[in-house]
Structure 1
Amino acid sequence: MFILNRVACVGGTVVPRCTALFVRHFSACRCLRSAKRRSPYSSVDSERYSSLVKSVMSSRISSQTPDTLQAEDEHVYGPVVKAATPSSRPETRVPKTLHPFLHFKETLETEEPESGPPARIVLNRADRPLVPSVTRILQQTLSPEQIFYLERWKRRMVAELGEEGFKEYSQNLFRQGKLFHSALEDILSSCATRENTNPPETSEYPPEVQGYLESISHVLSDVRAVRATESAVYHDTLNYLGILDCVACYRGVLCVIDWKTSEKPKPFLSNTYDNPVQLAAYAGALNNDANYKYQVEHGLIVVAYKDGSPAHAHQLSSELMLEYWNTWLIRLEECTEQRSRLASTSFEQKR
């Protein structure tokens, strides 16, 4: 039933009257009904684009090229959300003992040395059979996260290439790297002993390395005063050794130079993983080694590409080298602690 209020005028007086009306089949929805909007996608020919949708959804090749394995993992699975409270976050670790990066008994030379072949001190393992190398120390002190991504990469490569294929792939990478460093040593040595500093033609070297040499050609044009190539360094106080790639002036600054090869672009220093730590370790050993009469504060990491695309050159200032030197000291302490635990465990097992 619907109550309708009506008014009537009687002798100039307004008198309200109520009239009861019985209403059937009344619907408020009918009053609100409007024309249905047409979807802009309703007229799309879905059959025409079905193949495109399937190809996009099923493609195994990403349109992005992650710079690191971690970035690729986050691209596929999403970023890792860490909900650690401020009180539980690890504090920045510092070395227990701050060994100096520079050896203050030596002076920092800025003038170019006399012309002559660069130094090449051969590593004699027989003299120091138990001294760990920089590479070995870094391998033994990888973080759990680094180990995870390296193992995942290896499993993926084995799945694609098989065990034998992955072994052959690794051997080819090692062989190409060895040929590349051998060609570089020849180029740098010949430039140091010739008045003409232009490097020789890349056609003189194996085809496998010509792309890499073309890649670093613009870097080599800025390299002068080569002082050492493929030369051994030893830190007698911290007891470690290594073989550095090169010591030379790059754009007027004396640097320890590390030549790297890569299949993926590495435009940022962060893409080079532990290479800056390795470089700081070599420089610190050189500064403490009596075979070298000069000190080096700066570093340079050059990443070469097989397709000949311009190499990325990452120059490390003295401030950055000090930061990575402290990181190296921490890794060195971790390695020493690992060796102590292993020795203690071995001793307990023999008792």
Structure 2
Amino acid sequence: MYLLKRVGCVGSIVVPQCTSLFVGNFSACHCLSSPKRHSPYNSVDSERYSSLVKAVMSSKISSQTPETLQVEDEHIYGPVVNAQTPASEPEVRVPKTLHPFSHCEETVETEETESGPPARILLNRGQGRSSVPSVTRILQQTLSPEQIFYLERWKRKMIAQLGEEGFKVYSQNLFRQGKLFHSAVEDILISDATSIGEKSSEKAVFQPEVLGYMESISHVLADVSAVRATESTVQHAELNYLGIVDCVARYRGVLCLIDWKTSEKPKPFLSNTFDNPIQVAAYAGALNSDGNYKYQVENGLIVVAYKDGSPAHAHQLSSELMLQYWKMWLIRLENFPEQRSSDASSSFVQKR
């Protein structure tokens, strides 16, 4: 039935004049109660099309044609990886052997040990330490593939900007500035520990390269007291590694192993310091097992100084955090022999 030259209203729909519209048996109530339209697909000969699909899927274009659509999909996009349910947690790796971080039952901290000049045990490779790896070396050789990727990318970027020779000079300057900075901090801490009365740091004269760094850490040094060790060697005889700690002192009343760092970029969060917390925990664990030190250190402090003199960031590591990073260090230590043996194999193959 067609409606010609007539204005009709169905619900709120106005059908304009001179409109051709099929409205056979059209009403709101009828639409709601009428059964579903009969689909033409219901009359398809399913057996006929089923055999057709099977024929298409069974025909091989080449020997590389996948057997099923699933195989084809995996070939193009890779296998399907089922996501973990929210309730499940990622696997947390733990060290095979949980060596103790501290030995509180063996050495007890006393006020008497805080008197006198800070300890400074020099590294002597001639006393059976030539084969003992350092903390820095172990951390460098057990970097994750992701860490290695970003370090290499940064190096390539710097070489592109500065050139090979320019990057070499840049690296040498960074090393020199870091060495001068550590020497200046050590001089301040030793002189403050042995001076009486006015702080000697207020009268200290620094080289131009470290003026900004020293200004940067001035507010941190004001909270450092009772210095026990500076630039002193520690060794873990059982785990066979050693290192040189920057400082052991009280920071705001808490005995800490302090690590001084320099940076060209701000590092306001502990996560910005990368492997530095693991390094501090490794040093502390070695000191706690070293018989040259008659006390235990369970807290850490990472101080990041800036060349422009802006206030340094001081990241405190509680005893709980130190234990977490100590476990991470033990895992890196377990990976080190494997990495060292693989490096040795690679160099042997290259020599051949």
TM category (shorter chain) comes to 0.7 to 0.9
Which residue of structure 2 lines up, in the alignment, with residue 252 of structure 1? 253
Alignment identity in percent? 74
Give the 5 Å matches for 1:1-351.
Answer: 3-4=4-5, 85-86=83-84, 91-109=91-109, 111=111, 113-127=113-127, 128-196=129-197, 198-201=199-202, 204-341=205-342
Query: Per-residue displacement from partner, 1:41-67 (whole Å, max 9, x unpaired)?
Result: xxxxxxxxxxxxxxxxxxxxxxxxxxx
Looking at structure 1, the residues matched to 6 and 122 of structure 2 have their Cα atoms a distance apart, in angstroms, of: 112
Letter paired with 1:287: N
Looking at structure 2, the residues matched to 22 and 200 of structure 1 have their Cα atoms a distance apart, in angstroms, of: 99
Task: Give the aligned length.
Answer: 278
Query: Per-residue displacement from partner, 1:66-101 (whole Å, max 9, x unpaired)?
Result: xxxxxxxxxxxxxxxxx7733999621100000000
On the 8 A contact 2:213/2:308 being kept in 1, the answer is: yes
Greater mean deviation of Cα atoms: 323-332 or 337-346: 337-346
On the 8 A contact 2:135/2:241 being kept in 1, the answer is: yes
Looking at structure 1, the residues matched to 268 and 245 of structure 2 have their Cα atoms a distance apart, in angstroms, of: 22
SS at match of 2:154: helix
Please state how far the C-alpha of 1:342 moved relative to its aligned partner: 5.1
Please state how far the C-alpha of 1:202 moved relative to its aligned partner: 7.0
Query: Per-residue displacement from partner, 1:8-54 (whole Å, max 9, x unpaired)?
Result: xxxxxxxxxxxxx989xxxxxxxxxxxxxxxxxxxxxxxxxxxxxxx
SS at match of 1:292: coil
On the 8 A contact 2:108/2:294 being kept in 1, the answer is: no
Letter paired with 2:175: F
Query: Per-residue displacement from partner, 1:238-277 (whole Å, max 9, x unpaired)?
Result: 0000000000000000000000000000000000000000
Greater mean deviation of Cα atoms: 103-112 or 215-224: 103-112
Please state how far the C-alpha of 1:195 moved relative to its aligned partner: 2.2
Where do 5+ consecutive residues of structure 2 fail to align? 8-16, 20-80
Letter paired with 2:99: H
Q: Cα RMSD (Å) of the superposition?
A: 2.8
Greater mean deviation of Cα atoms: 159-168 or 334-343: 334-343
Where do 5+ consecutive residues of structure 1 fail to align? 7-20, 24-82
Please state how far the C-alpha of 1:5 moved relative to its aligned partner: 5.0
Letter paired with 2:106: E
SS at match of 2:158: helix
Looking at structure 1, the residues matched to 166 and 6 of structure 2 have their Cα atoms a distance apart, in angstroms, of: 93
Looking at structure 1, the residues matched to 177 and 215 of structure 2 have their Cα atoms a distance apart, in angstroms, of: 15
Looking at structure 1, the residues matched to 349 and 307 of structure 2 have their Cα atoms a distance apart, in angstroms, of: 51
Please state how far the C-alpha of 1:200 moved relative to its aligned partner: 1.9
Letter paired with 2:308: D
Letter paired with 2:111: E
SS at match of 1:244: strand
TM-score after normalising by structure 1: 0.73
Please state how far the C-alpha of 1:154 moved relative to its aligned partner: 0.5
Looking at structure 2, the residues matched to 171 and 143 of structure 1 have their Cα atoms a distance apart, in angstroms, of: 25
Looking at structure 2, the residues matched to 100 and 118 of structure 1 have their Cα atoms a distance apart, in angstroms, of: 26
TM-score after normalising by structure 2: 0.73
On the 8 A contact 2:305/2:312 being kept in 1, the answer is: yes
Please state how far the C-alpha of 1:191 moved relative to its aligned partner: 0.3
Looking at structure 2, the residues matched to 22 and 5 of structure 1 have their Cα atoms a distance apart, in angstroms, of: 7
